[in-house]
Chain A
Amino acid sequence: MSDYILELNNITKNFPGVKALDNANFRLKKKSIHALLGENGAGKSTLIKIITGVYNQNEGKLFLNNQEKSFSSPNEAMNAGISVVHQERNLIRRFSVGENLMLTNLPKNNIGLIDYNTVAKESKKWLDIMELDIDPNTIVSDLTVAKMQLCEIAKALSLESKILLLDEPTSSLSPQDTKNLFVLLKRLVAEQDVSIVFVSHKLEEVFEICDEVTVLRDGKNACESEQITNLNRQKLVKLMIGRDEQIIKSKKNIDFTDESLLDLQSINTDLGHKNINLNLKKGEILGLYGLVGAGRTELIKCVLGLDKINSGQILLNNKEIKIKSPKDALEKYKIGYISEDRKKEGLILMHDVLSNAGITVWSNLKKILSFLNDSIVYNKVDPYVKQLEVKTPSYQQIVSNLSGGNQQKISVAKWLASGTDILFIDEPTVGIDIKTKSYLHELIIELSLKGTSIILITSDMPEMISLADRIITMKDFKVVGETINNHNYEEMSSSIMGNIHE
């Protein structure tokens, strides 16, 4: 008898033209938190889908509690006690928490109607186990993002799951919520006999919470069930990307007493921003830090004319400007915005690479009678797509078929092609693998060295401290601090968090 609850041996999975998994092993110990790591495309999702019965492996065996199993549907895996909590919420937003938790097994009364008292009582039990102070009758859409995440875990527990797969569970959580989640996970493991597979791009979290690590690279094991205590960040990154990580630091001499390129003066907005003052120097990377909900993205959208500015003024080169729309911003003032939500706002997923990369330059390229053909657009955007090393079979490839990293590169490429003077970059590396991430970091620094002025919004503290020249902290739609970045992580992060928690 081994003490593994779940064992996958020599798993191979072929897709047309690709070997997604090649003799991969994965062993999950009872009552442990096991990190499953790897770059995008390394085979993590395929492995998870095999564990949860979405795919069947071509070769290799899966053992659950030492018994060989093969799941033909996600339902079978769920009944065997394996649950996944995805990045995307799987709750029905207009139903109550109780209804969501009991959804697959709603208790009925004598005449066959739903027995809401039992729903509340039963779901309360699971919420209590998690020490969650939520009324089961609350409608899901009224919860905070963090609470929704916790409800999903409660839902998984209510299905009597013994194995929980958490896919990037912290990507939309604040540092405080993340801490709470980790306390909870540790308690679940200790008290409820649950074993957890933890997938994350944030290595700090892996070191904080996991016992063992399995790393996949190109479908093979780069390491297998390694004790976390034997590893450090450098070693782990090397396992993931196959080479040492390059630490990037922006080193520039910017005179902050210089005249500002863009100047926001006492801006008040419809969305609730109060008296916002900030200025951007030429060639500077100005960081906007804050927790989710601090109003950073919203501020940028107001500046772009998507929401109303009630008072205050915007100066560009000391001249007051009024930006009516993103079109105005791009065409009149050469200001661009790289959205945090590349799927909804950054890209047109159903269209091909060429039209996505070229969308910002069509207006400039058009000839007489608005004539424009593919080769004109191609000639303009090709250098940028090449520079960013976008991996795509062709320019006719539909963007939704590309990996997240490549999609992000395209949403950056289109703004490089447009040749803007000022770029607002919003969470550029969320859910993106380390290689692409450090590539994008280099690019952002290079852009600023060439004279593009950048306002960078990121909730990733290390990213902020390695890139920004100056960091503005926002909280509750107000500016609460401004610090010149000295690139010392400890000093800067404590100063910024100090600003937030004052």
Chain B
Amino acid sequence: MNNKIPNFVKTNQFGLLILVIVFICIFSFSTDGFTSRFNIYALSRVVALDIMIGLAMMVVILTGGLNLSLGALGVSAAMFGGWCMETMGIPISITIILVLAFGSFLGWINGFVTVRTGVHSFIVTLATMSIYFGFMTLLTEAEAFRKLPEAFTDFGSLKLFNKYVSPLLIISVLTCFVLYYIFKYTDIGRKLIAAGANPDAAELSGISVDRMFIYCHMLSGFLAALAGIMLTARIGAAIPSMAGHLGFDWLLPAFLAPVLGGTLLSGGKVTVFGTMLGAILVTLINNGLYLIDVGEFWVRFFLGIILLGAVLLDRAREYFTVKNSIVS
């Protein structure tokens, strides 16, 4: 029936893109500072992080699970990085590799416990959230690492493209492309999606589902650690409370981006660029509402409403998912 409308128009991402444009228009006209160079640069720094934590959550939602420990894990990894650089004097590049490995390891713990016990990852990561954060606070004595190498903190405040864009955003966008490539063009990516969509059928088709689920959690840990490094570079220090108590500040954007983006909560479908657009939308609304000066609590109120709306959208999507492709 709708043969004349190109398929792209019917996708969730197209709807998101329209929303993003609509909000940009609204905020450009209704606020003063929205299109200023300063604000756009600030936006690019924030959105970079929101994209990364959205992706970190997305790869676990793919399995039909959740990663509540995301924030705690990211901050723990960042603190580990601060310790490496400040206390141990390890070079930046090696530190980054160590931090990413550490994040993957914490993710592996999440995945291993989930797979071995058969308990839902909601419970497992609720526990590890507390464990990681508690352990980190204990070891660091809640002290921040503020004397990081200048080369590292300078990178966080670097301004590119006529001083409009933070390099952090480029890292996030590149990560999106890499993840898209993995899910679309590799054997392992296909297996991750198949295992998430129907574990029983995937297992009987010769896929080691447990291993795939563990990979997803490791990837989530890796991305959360990367987000931790990026946040450290952005604020120029590794601070235990930089993602709020127990890392809670990350949870809302982490859910919002993939769910708005079209990732099914029941698993088996990823939308890398949808997640990116979802993160952009969340950051925009956040930023715009601050500029309109509605107050901190109203911003939270609106984000909560949006999450609820997005979840309803997710329910609706399960009925209308038919035409959409598995990876987008």
Interface residues of A (CB under 8 A from B): 16, 304, 306, 325-327, 329-331, 336-337, 339, 344-352, 355, 359-360, 362-363, 365-366, 369-373, 396, 398, 401, 414, 418
How far is B204's CA from A485's CA once the two chains are assembled, in angstroms?
30
B208 in contact (CB, < 8 A): yes
What residues of chain A lie closer than 8 Å to B268, measured between beta carbons?
348, 350-351
What residues of chain B lie closer than 8 Å to A336, measured between beta carbons?
206
A-contact bits for B240-272, CB 8 A (1 contact / 0 none)? 000000000000000000000000000011000
B235 in contact (CB, < 8 A): no
Interchain nearest-CB distance for B326 vs A (Å): 6
Are A326 and B204 in contact, with the CB atoms below 8 A?
Answer: yes
Partner of A327 from B201, B206, B269 at Cβ < 8 Å: B206
Interchain nearest-CB distance for A345 vs B (Å): 5
B200 in contact (CB, < 8 A): yes
* Interface positions of B from 186 to 206, Cβ below 8 Å from A: 186-191, 193-194, 197-198, 200-206
How far is B269's CA from A336's CA once the two chains are assembled, in angstroms?
26
B207 in contact (CB, < 8 A): yes
Chain B residue with minimal CB distance to A367? B187
Query: Which residue, A348, A352, A360, A365, has most C-beta atoms of chain B within 10 A?
Result: A348
How far is B207's CA from A350's CA once the two chains are assembled, in angstroms?
17
Interface residues of B (CB under 8 A from A): 1, 184-191, 193-194, 197-198, 200-208, 268-269, 321-323, 325-326
Partner of B186 from A325, A355, A370, A401 at Cβ < 8 Å: A370
Partner of A348 from B1, B198, B322 at Cβ < 8 Å: B198
Are B185 and A373 in contact, with the CB atoms below 8 A?
Answer: yes
- Given A344-B201, A347-B201, answer yes or no on A359-B194 (Cβ-Cβ < 8 Å): yes
- Given A344-B200, A349-B198, A401-B322, answer yes or no on A326-B205 (Cβ-Cβ < 8 Å): yes
What residues of chain A lie closer than 8 Å to B325, measured between beta carbons?
352, 396
How far is B206's CA from A331's CA once the two chains are assembled, in angstroms?
8
How far is B189's CA from A366's CA once the two chains are assembled, in angstroms?
11
What residues of chain B lie closer than 8 Å to A371, measured between beta carbons?
185-187
Partner of B206 from A329, A355, A369 at Cβ < 8 Å: A329
Partner of B208 from A327, A359, A396, A418 at Cβ < 8 Å: A327
What residues of chain B lie closer than 8 Å to A16, measured between beta carbons?
1
Are B204 and A346 in contact, with the CB atoms below 8 A?
Answer: yes
What residues of chain A lie closer than 8 Å to B184, measured between beta carbons?
373
How far is B188's CA from A345's CA once the two chains are assembled, in angstroms?
20
Query: Which residue, B184, B194, B201, B204, has most C-beta atoms of chain A within 10 A?
Result: B204
- Given A306-B203, A325-B203, A351-B197, answer yes or no on A363-B185 (Cβ-Cβ < 8 Å): no
How far is B189's CA from A373's CA once the two chains are assembled, in angstroms?
11
Chain B residue with minimal CB distance to A359? B205
Are B187 and A350 in contact, with the CB atoms below 8 A?
Answer: no
How far is B193's CA from A349's CA once the two chains are assembled, in angstroms?
13
Are A348 and B190 in contact, with the CB atoms below 8 A?
Answer: no
12 contacts between A and B (CB under 8 A): A344-B198, A345-B200, A348-B197, A350-B269, A359-B190, A360-B206, A362-B190, A366-B186, A366-B187, A371-B186, A371-B187, A401-B322
Interchain nearest-CB distance for B209 vs A (Å): 9
